[in-house]
Structure 1
Amino acid sequence: MTVFNQMQKTGCEPDRVTYCTLIDIHAKSGYLDIALDMYERMQEAGLSPDTFTYSVIINCLRKAGHLAAAHKLFCEMVNQGCVPNLVTYNIMIYLQAKARNYSAALQLYRDMQNAGFEPDKVTYSIVMEVLGHCGYSEEADSVFVEMKRRHWVPDEPVYGLLVDLYQAMLNAGLRPNVPTRNSQLSALLRVHRLQEAFHLLQDMLHLGLNHSLQTYTLLLSFCTEAQTSIEMRLCCQLMAVTCHPAHTFLSTMLASGPDGKNVRDHASNFLDLMHSEDRESKRGLVDAVVDFLHKNGLKEEAGSVWEAAAQKNVYPEAVREKSSCHWLINLHVMSDGTAVTALSRTLAWFRKQMIISGTCPNRIDIVTGWGRRSRVTETSLVRQAVQDLVKMFYFPFYTENGNSGCFVGCGDALSRRMHLL
């Protein structure tokens, strides 16, 4: 504000950017009255608001509890020809939900998608709550599935909401199917309600619903992330309840032999047994198994399971030759433990082939993306794990063209390092 006053004294007139900056920082700091005052001063100066300004002011009015005024300003924005952005739509959907105008909130959600905007985590969370209040439990479950498919990581309130929605579904006399039950199980595990998860698994059996590969994958992933030995033990009991062949496979796995062949054969036989399952389901389980083994110190076993899965084409796009001696290692659909295992084994395979043929890759691209286990936007556990591994072995990999989700190694530096591996 001091700088703002000084610039006016020197005859430098504030423009739209100046006012938008002041409106934004005051709104975010909770000084809503000053933000609204700045908006009025901007209009008095003959400066028309843009989409960003409208969004900030609408959010200001929302925080101040002026829902009707916020809706009026949104209508004015549209009438002035300013196209709402994702943030604006999220605010308005929230406003309509807050006012219990659920049909209007859902209509805005559809309008947003028709305008070409993809929902983010905020949108999904609000819409799920709206659908729940409308009694559309199955639709809310579909939104949750879509949210995870688009790699948005749900937070605790979303999982808590899901638990309530499923209970409402049961109270209404509806009979959920296996995918719906799996979503409910995922929600219960996320909020650490293991006793209820146990009853859910037993209830599935009583209803004649067989525990699927996805059911077991959810339990194993939770077991990997268990924070206490008690929690891990309880989760192991839950996995045993499923009586799924995946549990037999894991519980009968022996320690890796000198060359890991016994574990590779064991994993290969299990994957043959699961041949009728779709590739996505098999990949999800293999990812969970390798991640579990890696994070529990069984790195040889993890590597052997990965190799068996790769041989069975469970990860068809993980390693491919883009052109002569130019290879792509795609890790972005994996957990961090699986990514490190896959990268280590793939680099070792490159070295073995190099010794046999005498030819070294000219270029290797390691794609991490943001990782399906990202906790927040632009943060990836996969990317961090790969970066740590690359640094540990002094591999000459770097990011290029500002693409921080891809590590590139090429030329003589790569060849020399591969010889030393």
Structure 2
Amino acid sequence: MPTGIAPFNRQFAHNGNVVQNVSHILQQLKWGPSAEAALGNLNCSMDAYQANQILKQLQDHSVALGFFYWLKQQAGFRHDGHTYTTMVGILGRARQFGAINKLLNQMVNEGCQPNVVTYNRLIHSYGRANYLKDAMSVFSQMQEAGCEPDRVTYCTLIDIHAKSGFLDVALRLYDRMQEAGLSPDTFTYSVMINCLGKAGHLAAAHRLFCEMVDHGCVPNLVTYNIMIALQAKARNYETALKLYRDMQGAGFQPDKVTYSIVMEVLGHCGYLEEAEALFGEMKRKNWVPDEPVYGLLVDLWGKAGLNPSLQTYTLLSCCTEARSSYDMEFCCELMAVTRHPAHTFLLSMPSAGPDGENVREHMSRFLDLMHSEDRESKRGLVDAVVDFLHKSGLKEEAGSVWEVAAQKNVYPDAVKEKGSCYWLINLHVMSDGTAVTALSRTLAWFRQQMLISGVCPNRIDIVTGWGRRRCGESLNRWLLESYVERMHLL
């Protein structure tokens, strides 16, 4: 063995053992005196590299932060930019922004300047928490500190603004990124294609997709899934199927998302046998179908073979949208056999009385009974019921069901007061019928409050699957018109 290799190997093994032993202690114990005592009993020293390796393995932010500050007290130990940046990321996942700001101040005071990776972690954390103003503030701070944003910075900002419906901001950031001389990568192109598509600019999204290919940036499976989903949502089913074939021709194998989208497209085109064949292929390739996939098939079979009543349709739609513990293939039968409350609720839905109070009481009793169910399951059923009632012309019933669901916090982010006279109406997670019902009832409430108080919202943002629309003075004037009350808002 060459001279020097054996000591190196021993040192490498020692480093590995330190990381492993410390990680084991921290994953077994909550931070406190017992954890500190266990670490002290190891009687080993650590450097910043080893500390960073340990921090990366910790899921509990309180344990990570306790360990981080314990390290600072150890003789001869000094945190570096890597450990600070890792800690910022851990605290960001836990939305501990107060602790992050304290940490960043300490970092600077100790002469360790945040770098582009540190700032990117912080921007990502704020974005994930939907604190977009704070994310943009960090973007400005990093430039003031002389730290140039990189492609990751711009991509993160574009992504979080596009997902929140601020498509105009995302587009401006994309232009600014190019002005900075940073060429888009596959992720950036994919985000921008999705952004343009959701804004309703399908032709522009397709042009950007072609530009991506022309510039030698290879689309990946995510890019194809986005393109197929956008065309499917616009009901351009043949185009969606052509993209699916192009994707396969480019050598990409479908994943569960692809299969789900294409099965739905085939169903809309009336190709039920092809959809079933795709389902079989999906299982052969070991993609485990989840509840929505089973629900999609149930919905397709139901629409192909039934002339559904209100109860039948809502049961099938519930299967499509809900996330319950039932196997969706047998959900309807199980609900009837086991007398699940949802079955009784749907079968006994009353017609609206003069003021709709009977429907509201019926809905309220059901949601009280279902208080222990997860919100997503309740939202799936409510969405299906409101959607079908609306499409059946039963708008009073649809509105009453929506009002109770909103009061019971089934749609927690649907209507939010963002500031003084500034409101956000988020329709993004709703079906078409539910979105229309929610919007009309919310505007009716605004009108009522305006007439009572004389105070008008000066800004209302409406977020849909196609982006964000900002309304203000013109909407206020319209709501105050006398004929609006006759437009079935109330």
TM-score range, shorter chain: 0.3 to 0.5
